[in-house]
Amino acid sequence: MKKTIALSLVLAASMSLAACSKKADDAAANAADTMAAEAVEGAENAADAATDAAANATDAAANATDAAGNAVDAAADAAATAADAATK
């Protein structure tokens, strides 16, 4: 009788450990999946930010080039006006 009770207690303990380890494995797998998804999302966000920064830098360079061209045009116009005034 004692052996039967002891055996049933050992069996019950074994079953509870097996059930808990399955839950722990599932929780670990879910955590790993979540972390992987967050890492991918973070990488995508970083790539988007880098692309946006490159586009902004390109726009800024274009604006600077336009401003320099406008300054050259203004200087040329001023020089032409001065030359016209000097010949009169």
Buried b (16+ CB within 10 A) or exposed e, 36-68: eeeeeeeeeeeeeeeeeeeeeeeeeeeeeeeee
Residue type, 25: D
- For residue 76, pLDDT beyond 80: yes
For the entire predicted model, the pTM comes to: 0.55
For 1, 40, 87, the CA distances from 11, given in Å and listed in that order, are 15, 44, 114
User: Which tens digits make up the pLDDT trace of 12-70?
Assistant: 776 665 666 666 667 778 888 888 888 888 899 999 999 999 999 999 999 999 999 99
Please provide the distance, in angstroms rounded to a whole number, between the alpha carbons at the two ends of the chain: 130
